[in-house]
Amino acid sequence: MNMVADAQREFKSRLYAQFASVGKALGSPHRLEVLELLAQRERSVDSLASELGVSIANVSQHLQALRRASLVETRKAGQFVHYRLADPAVSDLCRALRTVSERRLAELDRLVRDQFGHRDAAEPVSMDELLKRARSNDVVILDTRPSSEYEAGHIAGAISLPVADLRRRLKELPKSKEYVAYCRGPYCVYADQAVKFLRAKGRKAHRLLEGVPEWRAAGLPIESGGAAPAASRGAVMRHP
């Protein structure tokens, strides 16, 4: 009997050690941000280092830790190595971590309210609400992320309009339309910046509460590749 119990205890210890290895890999703010960036598209070490504002050596160490935990995979193209999420479940894991943190951490709630307290005035839109509004040709969905992320995958029917290009391309956005902007996720600021600018210029604009990873996880339509100019398109999404 004791041998059976000992064998069961050894199994449980080894089992939870495996689970803990994933938790250990997530125990770094930079690694969590790396995973969020990789949820948008695959990236090189140089690209990640530039986005995070840290050294290439630092990012490489974080990527190796994530790779040892089987959370990321690589693809070599010439002299460059590109990293991607190893499985869509990795994005689900990060989202679950975020959800628990949002529900349980009072300091996180204060931090988010201090940063995004202005959002209520802009009437943020949920994914379900966007699906309803997208049936009207009067609604234009704006992807405010960098164009490379848009090309890797975007909400069906959205147009690419990086926030840095808004001022130059404002004439493409007639005042007769309604605009819903989105970016990487709930805490990405690109869409907020776009909504603030568009409202100041007399456009009716809102922010989608979620981003592309949440949209994809919900099984909603995703497209990849380039897009036509904003002025020539309305919301062309079709979904039951």
Active site residue ranges: 183
User: What is d(CA 72, CA 22) in angstroms, rounded to the nearest whole number?
Assistant: 11
Could you tell me if 186 and 121 are in contact, meaning their C-beta atoms sit under 8 angstroms apart? no
Q: How far apart are CA 147 and CA 135, in angstroms?
A: 25
The DSSP output letter for 171 is: G
Q: How many residues does the chain have?
A: 240
CA distance 187 to 149: 17
How far lies 154's CA from each of 72, 143, 164, 214, in Å? Answer: 21, 7, 18, 11
The encoded tokens of residue 5 equal 């119990």
The rounded distance, in Å, linking the Cα atoms of 198 and 173 is 9
